[in-house]
Amino acid sequence: MAFNLKGRSLLTWLDYTPDEIRYVLDLSAQLKAFKRAGIRGRNLEGKTIALLFEKPSTRTRCAFVVACVDEGAHPEYLGKNDIQFGKKETVKDTARVLGRMFDGIEFRGFSHETVEGLAKYSGVPVWNGLTDMFHPTQALADVLTLQENFGEVKGLTLAYVGDGRNNVANSLQVISAKLGIDCRIVSPKSLFPSESLVARCRDVAAATGAKITITDDVKAGVKGAHALYTDVWASMGEEDKIPERIALLKPYQVNEAMFEATGRKEAIFLHCLPAFHDLNTDVSKKFPDIQEVSDGVFEGPQSRVFDQAENRLHTIKAIMVATLG
Ligand code: CP
Ligand code: NVA
């Protein structure tokens, strides 16, 4: 069934019904198949898209750019030092200017209020490419990856282990609640997600058959999981917290023993990336214990992280096509 999502922004999946999310998910799979078959779409022909980035990005930026080009749109990258935004001009004024020139706006940055302001005042669809609070386009790629591996996602068990209150964990909690997934957020108590978000997700879950569990018990949290998911222990903007997070999160490293504890041979490993899994980055050279995932798991047969990264392209394309095409 087709849904009319034209003109809608995507700030968090909380604003979408389960059927609307499934529609965008199906469209993602379809667009992926078209791309594999060499069929080019013209769904965004003649559109111009602003890409606002306050924080760095590899996957999200590239996915938006390639998705635009694949579908005939023109992307314009606007980095934090390229425009007046934030220094000499407010969110409200920037939104009104960009909305007069562009057909859609992607925003990645710190405050979730910024992306809400852009959506409120620009008059065009605004897509959240990550804020401190949510990372919804990532969560859709994660669910597509689950679907590719297990078929129907309803009833699957997803255990996210690590910093339980970051943007990725929050968005996984939301999309799991919407799609009937048994979602476990496994983290130290001091990094549990906000009670208000958990309450909202549990409300949604009551209607969809999802389950939301927040626990600091790794063994219980990962038991029966179809997928173990982790993210960096200190997100962008939290670099000063690295030493304390390493101390807190070391017992939550995703490794071979944790996979054993799932009791499920077919369990897969997911990570939004970038990941610390070896000592080959500047940060991991400085902090050798920062590894949220062992190199063996990251490079091993359970790992689906590069499928997940590719799926950012297909899902971001589907989001733009559904809301703008
Ligand atoms: N997963 C993700 O959002 O990656 P980037 O920070 O590279 O965009
Ligand atoms: N939680 C991470 C996700 C990066 C894609 C961060 O915000 O840095």
pLDDT digits (tens, 9 = 90+) for 33-76: 999 999 989 999 999 999 999 999 999 999 999 999 999 999 99
- Find all residues with CB under 8 Å of 36, minimum gap 6, and list them: none
Confidence of residue 87 (pLDDT cuts 50, 70, 90): confident
Ligand 1, residues at Cβ distance < 6 Å: 57-60, 130, 138, 272-273
- Kindly state the greatest CA–CA separation across the chain: 55
235 pLDDT more than 80: yes
The Cα–Cα gap between 13 and 174 comes to 7
The Cα–Cα gap between 112 and 95 comes to 15
18 pLDDT more than 70: yes
pLDDT at 86: 80
pLDDT at 85: 87
The Cα–Cα gap between 252 and 271 comes to 14
2 pLDDT more than 90: no
Confidence of residue 161 (pLDDT cuts 50, 70, 90): very high
pLDDT at 45: 97
What does the mean pLDDT of the chain come to? Answer: 97
Query: Does ligand 2 lie within 6 Å of residue 236's CB atom?
Result: yes
Residue 301: how many CB atoms within 10 A of its CB? 8
The Cα–Cα gap between 96 and 74 comes to 20
pLDDT at 325: 83
pLDDT at 62: 98
pTM of the full structure = 0.98
The Cα–Cα gap between 157 and 35 comes to 30
Q: Which of 68, 183, 201, 272 is catalytic?
A: 272
Q: What is the pLDDT of residues 168-204, one digit of tens each?
A: 999 999 999 999 999 999 999 999 999 999 999 999 9
Query: Does ligand 2 lie within 6 Å of residue 230's CB atom?
Result: no
Confidence of residue 3 (pLDDT cuts 50, 70, 90): confident
The ligand 2 atom at the shortest distance from the C-alpha of residue 138 is: 5
Handedness of CA 197, 198, 200, 201 (dihedral sign): positive
The Cα–Cα gap between 198 and 159 comes to 15
What mean pLDDT comes out for the span 140-160?
98
The runs of H, that is alpha helices, within 37-78 are 59-70
Q: Which domains does the chain have, with CATH numbers?
A: 13-134+310-324 (3.40.50.1370), 138-304 (3.40.50.1370)
Confidence of residue 1 (pLDDT cuts 50, 70, 90): low
CA 206 to ligand 1 center in whole angstroms: 31
Told to judge if 231 belongs to the known catalytic residues of this protein, a careful annotator would answer: yes
Do 308 and 270 touch, CB atoms closer than 8 A? yes
